[in-house]
Amino acid sequence: MTPITTTADLAAFCQKLADAPFIAVDTEFMRETTYWPRLCLVQVAGPDIAANIDPMAEGLDLGPLLALMADESVQKVFHAGRQDVEIFNNLGVIPRPLFDTQIAAMAAGFGEQVAYDALVRQMLKITLDKSSRFTDWARRPLNQAQLEYAVADVTHLAALYPMLRKRLEETGRLAWVMEEMGALTDPAIYDIDPENSWKRLKPRKFAAKYLAVLRGVAAWRERTAQTRDQPRGRILKDDAIDEIATQLPTDADALGRLRSLPKGFAGSRFGVEIVEAVRESLAKAETYAPVIERSSTPPNPASGAIVELLKVLLKARAEDAGVASKLIATVSDLEKIASDDDADTSALRGWRREAFGEDALRLKRGELALVLDGARVRVVEVRRAPPKAAE
């Protein structure tokens, strides 16, 4: 098996797929020691054709492939495709329309984040050889075992897609899945603007100086990681950014006293740049600090207990529907619902509200109860006694 290595061959291959109803796509990449993922191989399959594409081949222009990815008349099928979509986004295109078989499998009753090989085994009755999974995809030449493993992934994915889609259509859940696909293709989740990188962190305070420095140091880390092509964590850990924003060090001595930084860091080039970032952020704190909306609802003292009850309800409703609970709501969603009946959460909108959210609110109001029936939890209506007539 020979991968595609020339622009002419890639253009001819993509032309054959131009009228296909869908294509299955996968990538092999390396990013353990870099900020930017290094794309090593792209695998693409249609209903009756498949190939490996070598993006590392000298002189290969990926233009024909990117045009195919942008063609909205062709469905793009991935499994757990967020990182694959991120790579294509870095190349200038977000594949649309998109169908992720891992998310689809969660709606079809295959459990939480089912692995690709498990899904193939259950639906196609095929056991995959995963021996080449963790090989060095950047080393050339690729051997036949690697190439066969890579193309098999998309060949089986192309066989899975029609079966899984039909199953969702028959159960009326295809719309649920397509709603999730819209979130996967939202450019905002792939945003790498340094000034927005603070959003990956979990601010612990709301003071303007804290938030301004959190944003400024996070932006410095993102720019540095991009410029040096190193992972964010190798530049500066998240907990260090939080401590810097809390302590507000404006000189090397103050920076050197922070426990989250290694010895000697304050006197390094990074230390000098961080101190400058802190000073600049503090100088414009009131206008530079990000605005974080705080709930106007007073904290509920019983929120912890309510969350635990909601977890049980979620599990029960997910089992009733044959859907992975994570697809319906996360712990964060439950915490928001526990504190606020009008919380801004997807669990209280659309099909999720129908499957779970409305019952969650009714449980809070005491209109529903959870009953242990053997090994299963049942959700039952609470019958309230009618008010006594006045004597």
Q: Which residue has the tokens 């259950």?
A: 122
- Residue 207: partners with Cβ closer than 8 Å, 6 or more residues away: none
Residue 297 lies in a domain: no
To the nearest whole percent, how much of the chain has pLDDT over 70? 96
Residue 156 sits in the same domain as residue 272: no
Buried b or exposed e, range 265-277, using 16+ CB within 10 angstroms: bbeeebbeebbeb
Domain that holds residue 309: 303-381
**231-242 pLDDT, tens digit each:** 999 999 999 999
Structure tokens at 48: 């009756």
Q: Can you point out the beta strands (E) in 96-171? A: 98-100
Residues 285-334 pLDDT 10s: 999 999 987 766 666 677 889 999 999 999 999 998 889 999 999 999 99
Q: Is residue 41 part of a domain?
A: yes
Same domain, 317 and 283: no
Total domain count, the chain: 3
Evaluate whether residue 28 is within a structural domain: yes
Judging by DSSP bridges, how do beta strands 75-78 and 22-30 pair with one another?
parallel
Boundary of a domain, candidates 190, 219, 235: 190
Report yes or no on whether pTM surpasses 0.75: yes
User: How would residue 373 be classed by pLDDT, with cut points 50, 70 and 90?
Assistant: confident
- Residues 186 and 44 placed together within one structural domain of the fold: yes
